[in-house]
Structure 1
Amino acid sequence: MNQRGKPIPSLIKNQRLVEQRRRQIVQGAVDLFVRKGFHKTTTREIARACGLSIGTMYEYIQTKEDVLYLVCDYIHSELERRLTEAIREEDSGRESLKKAIAQLFRVMGEMSDYVLLIYQETKSLPKETMKYVLKKEEEITGHFERILEKGIRDGTLSLSPSSVKLMAHNIMVMGQMWTFRRWVLARHYSLEEYTRLQTALLLRDLSLDEGGG
């Protein structure tokens, strides 16, 4: 888990073990946070859920807020990694967009509970930490802005430059919609079908000539 934004002190010097234990803590905490809420969940319950003594857990984190931050950072880092790995320099803007959408939707499907938790409980983070988390969200959206701009330059996508930022946010919301509406969407579509249909709708819109509006 990337700690560039908010270094969380640890009593353990082995970074690989720190990463492993913090992942274990996050996985144990997410279900509790989703079921009971952040404020009603105790650190003792988190320790029990992740199979650690409370003393051992405090060797890797300092506060319950640290756990929530790690959840946020895990999602953003994982999504950023997958976007970076999926997209190739030689791909057209259109092809890059298809790959990026597939990765975004896949992460939203795999981490639905994590994403839901972020939107429910980010307000519980300290102000400076919240600013970092929101900044990471903007950086992910920025990946889609750059892909759209690439497609405009190479002629594989048709979009007014003034609409790029809005379209990038629309794409993010489409991915997040699977998290917030999966209770009904999953009755009608698999995640793969949802991804295919939403991608087709987006690409159809981005193939229209907007007339430079």
Structure 2
Amino acid sequence: MAYGAVIMKQIASNMKDIPTQIKNPELVKRRRRQIVDAAVQLFIENGFHKTTTRQIAKAAGFSIGSLYEYVASKEDVLYLVCDAIHAEVERGVSEALKRTTRGREALAEVIREYFLVCHRMCDHILLIYQETQSLPPQWRRKVLENEINITGIFVKVLARLVETGNFPYINERSIELVAHNISVLGHMWTFRRWFLARHYSIEDYIELQTDFILGISTGR
């Protein structure tokens, strides 16, 4: 499933969260997709606070009045952007799990897919960390819950591998910490790419960090 399709699916799931004046659900999905695409670039280029709803409307090809038929505020737009990014990460990791279920290979495949998503969406992930505090409390809680849900995917993979004896050196107490390590190492490529990209390709980074994580997992 392409990134755009993931956004459409996630926007649909959040239609009840964000009220709209439009009765046609398919039209709402399409229009909100346009708004999300336009807003991502503006938020990255100008920052959330300096971007106006009028700029978003213009970039999306709407009048300001039409924009407010689909979202009530700029914060609604940011929430839709953040949630769509989390959906892409969840999709990539879930598909990696479908490709292999064998011990170390399963974890390596999950790590690879997750890091590639972080690489493709560096600016978007950085946007989440920079602007989550700009969301109203109810949206901020949901964005943070999504972050924990992504780490939860790694927890499930590790727990399954521990149960099958593939990673005997990880105990139940340390599973969650290793899962958070994986999550943060993916984000490190986002935060430190200004330095890392000068010395490592994304493939180098994936290989080295996968060896590091598997080393923890197997007691090497």
Residue 47 (structure 1) aligns with = 57
Cα distance, 1:30 vs structure 2? 1.8
After the TM superposition, which of the residue ranges 168-177 and 99-108 deviates more from structure 2? 99-108
Superposed, which structure 2 residues align to 1:1-213 within 5 Å?
Answer: 1-2=10-11, 3-4=13-14, 7-88=17-98, 91-157=101-167, 158-208=169-219
* RMSD of aligned alpha carbons: 2.0
1:125-145 alpha-carbon deviations (Å, 9 max, x no partner): 111111111111111101101
1:32-80 alpha-carbon deviations (Å, 9 max, x no partner): 2223221121101111222322222222211100111011100111211
The aligned length equals: 209
Letter in 1 for 2:52: T
Letter in 2 for 1:109: H
Unaligned runs of 5+ in 2: 1-9
1:76-102 alpha-carbon deviations (Å, 9 max, x no partner): 112112222221397134222112111
Letter in 1 for 2:193: R
Letter in 1 for 2:115: F
Task: Tell me the distance in 2 between the aligned counterparts of 1:5 and 1:91.
Answer: 34
When the two structures are superposed, what TM-score results if normalisation uses the length of structure 1?
0.90
Of Structure 1 and Structure 2, which has the larger fraction of its residues in helix? 2
Task: Tell me the distance in 1 between the aligned counterparts of 2:61 and 2:107.
Answer: 41
Task: Tell me the distance in 2 between the aligned counterparts of 1:5 and 1:168.
Answer: 31
* Corresponding residue SS for 1:56: helix
Letter in 2 for 1:134: L
Cα distance, 1:4 vs structure 2? 4.5
Cα distance, 1:183 vs structure 2? 1.1
When the two structures are superposed, what TM-score results if normalisation uses the length of structure 2?
0.87
Alpha carbons of structure 1 residues 49 and 112: separation in structure 2 relative to 1, 3 Å: same
Task: Tell me the distance in 2 between the aligned counterparts of 1:185 and 1:89.
Answer: 29
Alpha carbons of structure 1 residues 190 and 80: separation in structure 2 relative to 1, 3 Å: same
Unaligned runs of 5+ in 1: none
Q: State the identity as a percent.
A: 52
* Corresponding residue SS for 1:133: helix
